[in-house]
């Protein structure tokens, strides 16, 4: 499900801000973003309980030494998953030095020349998606037009699935868009 955003509030907040929606669509958004945390959190909790059980039952030190790194690694994985989900709403600034209307036209042309699929075209922003590659289903790129440049958000999201990890594809999408805007501007 694609998120409808409020461009003015998003620019002010520095992160994507959804438009006021019905309760049902808001619940869809929460479940879409945080559903991945349920199995991850469960694994961390189970491993932590198992580690405490090993220590409490005076299990051999070898078992405890094997279990402790596992608990730490799973806890760090859970932490980074939450952090990545929160960061998936952040906006990045690409400076063009041009006014809002020129940025709109330039961004639409850039999306087309990079061969991303334009799926939404609004007055204040566009949404495009890339094809699947590597470990991802593709990225959703939101470009919000502003005077002086554009704000960009890249998320691992298409109509098919959602994953919080970008595996470096977000930076690559930002780099490609920035280079293409610079090429079209000059």
**Tokens for 117?**
């699929």
97 CB burial (10 A radius; 0-12, 13-18, 19+): exposed
Strand-pairing partners, residue 136, are: 133
Token couple for 140: 């959703």
* pLDDT of 177 over the 50 cut: yes
Express each pLDDT in 16-42 by its tens digit: 888 876 454 555 555 556 666 777 778
- Which of 3-17, 22-36, 164-178 shows the lowest per-residue confidence on average (mean pLDDT)? 22-36
The closest of 126, 128, 136 to 162, measured between CA atoms, is: 136
Q: Is residue 144 within 8 Å of residue 11, measured between CB atoms?
A: yes
pTM of the model: 0.75
Strands (E), 57-160: 92-95, 117-121, 125-129, 140-146, 149-155
Half-sphere exposure of 87 (CA within 13 A, CB side): 13
């Amino acid at each position: 499900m694609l998120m409808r955003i409020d461009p003015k509030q998003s620019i002010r907040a520095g992160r994507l801000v959804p438009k006021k929606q019905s309760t049902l669509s808001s619940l869809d958004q929460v479940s879409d973003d945080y559903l991945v945390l349920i199995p991850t959190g469960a694994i961390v909790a189970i491993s932590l309980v198992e580690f405490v059980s090993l220590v409490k039952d005076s299990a051999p030190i070898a078992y405890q030494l094997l279990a402790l790194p596992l608990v730490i690694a799973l806890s760090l994985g859970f932490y980074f998953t939450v952090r990545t989900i929160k960061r998936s709403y952040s906006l990045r600034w690409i400076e063009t030095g041009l006014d809002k209307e020129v940025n709109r036209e330039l961004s639409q042309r850039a999306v087309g020349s990079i061969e991303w699929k334009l799926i939404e075209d609004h007055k204040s922003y566009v949404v495009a998606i890339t094809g699947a590659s590597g470990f991802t289903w593709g990225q959703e790129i939101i470009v919000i037009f502003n005077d002086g440049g554009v704000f960009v958000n890249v998320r691992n999201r298409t109509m098919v699935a959602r994953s919080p990890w970008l595996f470096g594809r977000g930076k690559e999408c930002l780099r490609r868009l920035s280079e293409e805007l610079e090429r079209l501007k000059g």
